[in-house]
Amino acid sequence: MIIKEGFARISVPESHSRKGPGTRSAGFYNNEQVINRDLTILVLSKLRPKNYLDGFGATGVRAIRVITELGIESSISEINPASVRKIEENLAMNSVTASVYKEPFQSAVSKGLYEFIDIDPYGSAVPYLDVALASVKNGGYLGITATDLSVLTGSVPSKTRRRYGAFIANDAHRHEVGIRLMLADVVKRAASMDRYIAPIISFWHGHFYRIIVRVRNGSLKADKSLDLVSTVNFNKMYSNYYDDIDQGPVWKGDLEDSSIISGSLALRPGSVSEMSVNFASKLIGENASLMFSEMTDAARSMGLSLPRVNDLIEELGKTGFNACRTHFSTTGIKFSGTWQQFTEAFVSASRRA
């Protein structure tokens, strides 16, 4: 069947995945990843790399959109012969050309210095990170999608320890902690190569995490980035309501470059859906604090009912510190003040309910 995504027309299997991570097959296409690809196009419209490598082609939709919507020279890696035929069919259907490497990602990535390497494997990205970090051009970008959320959120502690060398509590904060665990892993791998990263965008949506980072050379800044990889303890950060447990190690630096996201939204390519634009606009405040404050936890700890989110944000604004929603939780708030200020504002907001 033929579907339209962005400005591209793509031939996909009749059995393509419409919900969840799906099952990997020839010409695999996941409809729920459209927002992932939309936000990639959005950010690329601002970054404007010279070239782009889609490391796991499947239908070729990522690279085809990058070519048709942004005019960026692109290459595609795909080892499955049936998928390669589907990619070539889709390139022809869209009247565009791309270098198609019929070989594993690890081989294809060595063909040249790419300014943007995109890793979107089925499952964990861990086996591909080292070669990608070593191969991306100095000052270039790495896009990484992870669907092993049960591991990143600590749902399977033995795998979290084995794959990431970490402990995650799998509580209300698990998706921000999971993203930060993913970033910490990339930071440590980059530092081992005397490279360091700067996050451009980091987000959770449904069954996947997505990060885009800039990669640069520099041993001193690699050391400084490692200083931002440590544990978090909500008992010490917030209150005795939380167990005294060290989680991580996780990345404790910024999750994004808000100026790039804002600049991307200003450019707003016509191929990106309104839903994706609205979602991207919700990410801009994620640097306001390390971790978000969870309203349901505050309510339970104080024996109070939940106030309206906007009422609480209004009360928090009176403290003079930044307060905004987070995309990690519908009842989570990024707040740059103290937990005591948060709870005092919570009490005031609860009285208004």
- The answer to whether the CB of 75 falls within 8 A of the CB of 51 is yes
Question: Burial level of 114, CB count in 10 A (0-12/13-18/19+)?
Answer: buried
Q: 219 phi and psi, to 5 degrees? A: -70, -40
Average pLDDT over residues 9-21: 68
Beta strands in 193-252 (DSSP E): 195-205, 208-217, 229-232, 247-251
pLDDT, one tens digit per residue, over 164-176 is: 999 999 999 999 9
Amino acid 22: pLDDT = 47
Which residue would you say has higher pLDDT here, 206 or 16?
206
Which residues partner with 229 through β-bridges?
Answer: 251
Tell me the three-class secondary structure of 30-59, residue by residue. Answer: EHHHHHHHHHHHHHHHHHCCCEEEECCCCC
Each domain of the chain, given as residue ranges in start order, spans: 2-288, 293-352
Question: Which of the four CATH numbers 3.50.50.60, 3.40.50.150, 3.40.50.300, 2.60.40.420 does domain 2-288 have?
Answer: 3.40.50.150
d(CA 48, CA 46): 6
Q: 3-state class of 230 per DSSP?
A: strand
pLDDT, one tens digit per residue, over 215-269 is: 999 999 999 999 999 999 999 999 999 999 999 999 999 999 999 999 999 999 9
Q: Are strands 51-54 and 114-119 parallel, antiparallel or unpaired?
A: parallel
CATH placement of domain 293-352: 3.30.56.70
Which of the four pLDDT bands, split at 50, 70 and 90, describes residue 112?
A: confident
d(CA 142, CA 210): 11
Which residue would you say has higher pLDDT here, 292 or 18?
292
Beta strands in 62-181 (DSSP E): 73-77, 99-101, 114-119, 136-146
d(CA 250, CA 8): 38
pLDDT, one tens digit per residue, over 31-90 is: 889 999 999 999 999 999 999 999 999 999 999 999 999 999 999 999 999 999 999 999
Which of the four pLDDT bands, split at 50, 70 and 90, describes residue 147?
A: very high
Average pLDDT over residues 203-220: 97
Which of the four pLDDT bands, split at 50, 70 and 90, describes residue 30?
A: confident
pTM: 0.94
d(CA 180, CA 157): 16
- The answer to whether the CB of 191 falls within 8 A of the CB of 226 is yes
Whether the per-residue pLDDT at 17 is higher than 80: the answer is no
Which of the four pLDDT bands, split at 50, 70 and 90, describes residue 26?
A: low
Whether the per-residue pLDDT at 331 is higher than 50: the answer is yes
Which of the four pLDDT bands, split at 50, 70 and 90, describes residue 15?
A: low
Which residue would you say has higher pLDDT here, 286 or 30?
286
Which of the four pLDDT bands, split at 50, 70 and 90, describes residue 27?
A: low
Residues in the chain: 353
Whether the per-residue pLDDT at 162 is higher than 60: the answer is yes
Beta strands in the chain (DSSP E): 2-5, 8-11, 51-54, 73-77, 99-101, 114-119, 136-146, 195-205, 208-217, 229-232, 247-251, 293-294, 323-326, 329-335
Q: 3-state class of 351 per DSSP?
A: helix
